[in-house]
Structure 1
C-alpha cells in the first residue's frame, strides 16, 4: 500500500466520507425528533438551500486560476455543456430501463453535476496535478448552473408526462427552481438575461472600487475591503433569492476581496456541512433505497464514460482522476427540493443516490490510490551512459621543414590563427623589434592556435 501523499489522501477521503454520513445522521435524528416533516414546500427553506448553492458556486470559482483555465478552455466548455447533457442522457437511459416512467427521467439531470463543495473539501488530498485540479474545479463550478437551467427546462415537460400518465389534466405546483425559471421559452431567456445583469452590476462595482481605491485589492484599506465584502454578500443573496446561479458563478471569477478569500475555505466547508445536515432532514420523509442505488451508480458510471472521453488528451493520472471525480452534494439536494412538489418521489430517490455516489467516489479513488506509486518514496536515478573519454591533445610540433601538424588542415582554413611555419626551424628571437627578448615559453606558444598576440604579450611580460 502506498504511504505519504497517498496515505494522507486516503485518510482525508475516509474522514470526508464518515463526516458526511455522520452529519446526515445528525440531521435525520433532529428531523425525526422534532417532527419537522416535509420542508420542501417552505419558501424560506428553499431560499436557504439555494443560498447555500450560491455560496458553493462562488467559493469554487473564486479559487480558479484564470491563467491555467485558459490552457483547457475548449475542454471546459465541452465539459459544462456537452458533458452535462451526455451524462444526463446516459443516466436517463438507465432510469428508463429501471423505473419505466419518463416523468422521473428529470432526476437524471439532478445528479449529473459534480458538487463544488465536495471538490473543494478534497482538493488538497487529490492526486491531480495543478492543471487537473483547475479543470475539475471549473467543471464542478460551471456544470452546476447549467444543470440547474437544464432541470428547469426539462421539468415542465416531465410534469406534463407525469400528468398524462396519471390521467389528470391539471398541473401541479411549480414551486422551486422550475417555477422560478418558468415553463416558457421567454421565461428562460429572461432568466439568462437577469444572470447577465447580475454579472454586469458586479463588474461595474468591482471596476469602481479598483479605480477609486487602487488596482491592487491587497493594498486596499480595511474599510474598503469591508465595503467590497458587503457588496459581494448582497450579490450572493440576490443570486440565491432569484436563482441566478450562472451569474454568481461568473462573478466569482473576478470579484475577489482579499479579506474574504483568505477565509473562503472555512466558509465553503461550513456550507458543505450545512448542506449535509439538510440532506439528513430530507431523509425523515423516507427513502427509496433501490432506485437511489440505481441512480447513484448510473451517475458515477456516466462520469467515468464522459470524463474519460473529454480528458483523453490529459496525462494518465489526471485522466483517470477526472473520470473518477463524480460527487454529489448541495446542488442535488436543492434540485431534489425544487422537484419535490411536482415529483413526490424526488427526495426519496435522490437522497440515497447522493450517498451512493459519494461512497463509490471513496471506494474507486481509494483503489486508484493504492495502485499508484507513492510520490514521496525516493526513486533510484536512471543509469546514465559513461561519459566519453577526453580527446587526446595533439602535440603542436612540426615534423620537419615545410610541414604542418597532421591534425590541421593543409591550408589552415579551420583555424584563422594558424600560421604555417617557415621552411626551417624557427630561431629564437633574442631581441624583438620593440622590447626585451621573448622567453622560450613564448616561442613554444607561438604556433598554438588558441593563443593570440595578446596572450603572447602577456607571457612575455610575466617573464
Structure 2
C-alpha cells in the first residue's frame, strides 16, 4: 500500500512539473538511452542476483513453465488484446513485453508485509511466486532489448554486430569471473568484486551488452545487498517521476486506454496462472492468480521503447497503476476468505 502511494505520488509530481513548466525530455539523446540502459542493467543484475536456486528445486517443472511458456503467453495475449484496442501492432507488442512480468520488488514487499497474522498462503506458493517474478524479469528485459535492437536497426540506428556483442559480453563476463575467483581464492581481495561489477554494468549499458548483467548476477555477488536495494528503490521512484514528465496534455486522450490495458494485464495473468497452479491447494491457486504487480522493469522498458514509439509511456503508466491498484484491492477483498481455506 505504501509503495503504491509513493509510486503514484512520484508520477503525479512529474506530471505536475510537466504541466507547470513545460519541461521536455529528448528521448533521441544519447544520454537518455545510456541512462535508461544503465537502469535496466542494474535491474537485470538485481533480478538474477535475487534468484535463490534452492527454492527453485521445490517446483522446478512448474517454475520452468511459468518463466518460459507463461511469460511468452502473457506477452502474446496482452499484445494481441491491446492490438485489438489500439490497432497498432508495434505499440501493442511493446506494451505486451513491458507489462508481462511480475515485479520482484513489489512481490518482496507484499510477502514481507503479511501482517500480524502472518502469511496467508503456504511457503510453497511463496517460493513459486518468488522464483517466477525473479526469473521472468530478466526474460522480459531480454525480450524488450531484442525487439528494441530489431526496431532500432530498421530505423537506421547504430547497432553492434552479433560477433561484436558476443565478444564484448564474453570479455565482461570473463572479467567478472576473474574478479569473483580472486575474491574467493586470494585473501584480502574481496573488495575487487564491487568496482569490477560497477564497471561492467556501466560498459554493458553504454555498448548495449545486456547479456552481461544477467550472467554476472549468477556468480558475481559482492556484499552490497543493502546498497543494491536502496539503488533499486531509488531507481523505481525516480523512474516513476520521469514517466510523469511524459504525461503532456495530449497524452490524456490515451490514458483512458491505458486503464483498459491495465485491466487486460491483470486478467491475462489470472488466465495464465490458472493452468500453472493446477494441483495446488485452493488458497495457493487464488494467491498465484492475483499475484500480478508491475513496477520498475515495466517503467524502464516503457521508457526504452518511448525512443522508438512516442506514446508508449502514456499508455504504460496508467496500466501499471491500475495493475497495482487491482492487486491491492483484490488481495484485500479475498484475504479474509483465503484465511479460512486449508493450506492442504
* Residue in structure 2 matched with residue 57 of structure 1 by the alignment: 44
Counterparts of 1:203 and 1:364, CA distance in 2? 44
Does residue 1:254 correspond to 2:219, yes or no?
A: yes
Report if aligned partners of 2:78, 2:96 keep a CA contact under 8 Å in 1.
yes
Q: 1:267 to 1:137 in 2, by over 3 A?
A: farther
Matched, 1:368 2:334: yes
The verdict on how the C-alpha distance between 1:97 and 1:199 changes in structure 2, with shifts beyond 3 A counting, is same
Instruction: For 1:192 and 1:143, locate their aligned partners in 2 and report how far apart those are by CA, in whole Å.
Output: 23
Return the match for 1:274 from 218, 238, 259.
Answer: 238
Q: Residue 255 of structure 2 aligns with which residue? A: 289
Change (3 A) 1:254 1:17: same
Partners of 2:272 and 2:71 lie apart in 1 by: 9
Name the structure 2 match of 1:209. Answer: 183
The structure-2 alpha-carbon separation of the partners of 1:241 and 1:314, relative to structure 1 and needing over 3 Å to count, comes to farther
Relative distance call for 1:195 and 1:114 in structure 2 (3 A) is farther
Show the 5 A alignment for 1:24-423: 24-106=11-93, 107-126=95-114, 127=119, 129-154=122-147, 172=155, 174=157, 180=159, 187=162, 191=165, 194-195=168-169, 197-213=171-187, 224-258=189-223, 260-284=224-248, 286-287=251-252, 288-373=254-339
Q: Which runs of 5+ in 1 are unaligned?
A: 1-13, 161-170, 214-220, 376-463
In the alignment, the residues of structure 2 paired with residue 200 and residue 141 of structure 1 have an alpha-carbon distance, to the nearest angstrom, of 24
**Which fold has the larger relative contact order, with Cα–Cα distance below 8 Å and residues 6 or more apart in sequence?**
2
* Cα 1:47–1:227 shift into 2, 3 Å: same
**Aligned equivalents of 1:138, 1:271: Cα separation in 2:** 22
Offset of 1:150 from its aligned partner?
2.6
Deviations 1:133-167 (A, max 9, x none): 4433332233233223333444688899xxxxxxx
Once residues 23 and 92 of structure 1 are traced to their aligned partners in structure 2, the CA distance between those partners, rounded to angstroms, is 27
Partner of 1:252, secondary structure, is helix
**Aligned in 2, Cα 1:233/1:103: closer, same or farther, shift over 3 Å?**
closer
CA deviation string 1:237-275 (max 9, x = no partner): 2333334444323322322222x1244433332222222
Deviation at 1:338, TM superposition (A): 2.5
Are 1:61 and 1:249, in contact at CA under 8 Å, matched by a contact in 2? yes
Could you say which structure has the larger radius of gyration?
A: 1
Contact 2:259 2:318 in 1 (8 A): yes
Residues in 1 aligned to 2:89 and 2:9: alpha-carbon distance in whole angstroms:
34
* Shift in CA distance, 65/103, structure 1 to aligned 2, threshold 3 Å: closer
Cα RMSD of the aligned pairs, angstroms, is 3.1
Aligned residue in 2 for 1:461: none
Q: Distance in 1 between matches of 2:69 and 2:241?
A: 32
More helix by share: 2
Contact 1:145–1:245 (8 Å) recurs in 2 = no
Does the CA-based 8 Å contact 1:291-1:349 persist in structure 2? yes
Moved more, 289-298 or 365-374: 365-374
Task: Pick closer, same or farther for the CA change 1:245–1:145 going to 2, 3 Å.
Answer: farther
Q: Is the 8 A contact 2:51 2:134 kept in 1?
A: no
TM-aligned CA distance change 1:263 to 1:152, over 3 Å: closer
Runs ≥4 in structure 1, deviation > 6 angstroms? 156-160
Q: Structure 1 pair 87/16, CA: closer, same or farther in 2 (3 Å)?
A: same
Aligned length: 334
Consecutive unaligned residues of structure 2, counting only runs of 5 or more, are: none
Normalising by structure 1, we get a TM-score of 0.64
Counterparts of 1:317 and 1:196, CA distance in 2: 45
Query: 1:37 aligns to what SS in structure 2?
Result: coil
Structure 1 residues 196 and 53: alpha-carbon distance in aligned structure 2, compared to 1, 3 A threshold: same
In structure 2, what is the Cα distance between the partners aligned to 1:103 and 1:232? Answer: 34
Query: 1:86 Cα shift?
Result: 0.4
